[in-house]
Amino acid sequence: MTAIETWWHVVCTFLKLSLFSIGGGNTLLQAYHHEVVETFGWLTNRQFSDLYGLAEAAPGPSSMFVGLLGLGAGWKHGPAWALVTGYSAELAILLPSTVVMLIASVYWNRWRDSPWRMAFERGLGPVTLGILFSVSVTILRTANHSLIAYGLSFMVCFFVLKTKISPLVFIGICGLAGVLGFVR
């Protein structure tokens, strides 16, 4: 695939996915994985998982992950193309959903008491929770499969749910474990 073809596929992929990003970008993680790893082969499972971890640990919006996916897709064509595909992926994921939300917000308040609006809102909760659960399974499948990595994952989950310790502390601890070579 040429650089232009890669760029075109990146743009089309994220334009399409943008229109289905109900619940935020993380709800599309499984779709991102399907397109980027399984369909186009731009990244391996490990690269996908590593970029997701990097995007989640870094400050900024979760959509930054899409920019990293675009960067990874274009990297085989050189750093310049990686930047082009990275920025293009980011614009492609943000632009359509932003336009749709701006248009929808004009009408959404007009239909405040509409039965179909209330039914739609009630249906979004279970759908979003189900998608987020499937995202967790996707990340678990693509992640580092060492016992130490699993142990750290379950430890973080337990302490985040059972204590008031900030998740940032665990990001630091797990990042340090990786730097020190405990997690590969």
- Predicted pLDDT at 22: 67
Q: Do 105 and 165 fall within a single domain? A: no
Q: Do 98 and 140 fall within a single domain? A: no
Q: Do 77 and 105 fall within a single domain? A: yes
Q: Do 54 and 22 fall within a single domain? A: yes
Q: Do 101 and 12 fall within a single domain? A: yes
Under 8 Å CB-to-CB from 8, ≥6 apart: which residues?
Answer: none
Domain count of the chain?
2
Q: Do 60 and 45 fall within a single domain? A: yes
Q: Could you give the angle at which helices 79-108 and 3-18 cross, rounded to 10 degrees?
A: 20
Q: CB atoms < 10 A from the CB of 52, how many?
A: 23
- Predicted pLDDT at 57: 78
Tell me the whole-structure pTM to 2 decimals.
Answer: 0.76
Q: Do 96 and 9 fall within a single domain? A: yes
- Which of 74, 94, 109 terminates a domain? The answer is 109
Q: What is the mean pLDDT of each run of 10 residues along the chain (184 residues)?
A: 96 93 76 94 92 83 89 96 97 91 85 85 82 80 78 88 88 85 78
Q: Do 89 and 154 fall within a single domain? A: no
- Which of 66, 89, 109 terminates a domain? The answer is 109
- Which of 88, 109, 130 terminates a domain? The answer is 109
Dihedral pair phi/psi, residue 60, rounded to 5°: 125, 180
Q: Do 123 and 144 fall within a single domain? A: yes
Please report which helix (H) or strand (E) contains residue 18, including its range: helix 3-18
Q: Do 21 and 71 fall within a single domain? A: yes
Q: Do 14 and 42 fall within a single domain? A: yes
Dihedral pair phi/psi, residue 124, rounded to 5°: -70, -35
CA distance 66 to 153: 23
Residue 168's domain spans which residues? 113-180
User: Any idea what DSSP says for residue 111?
Assistant: G
Residue 148, amino acid: I
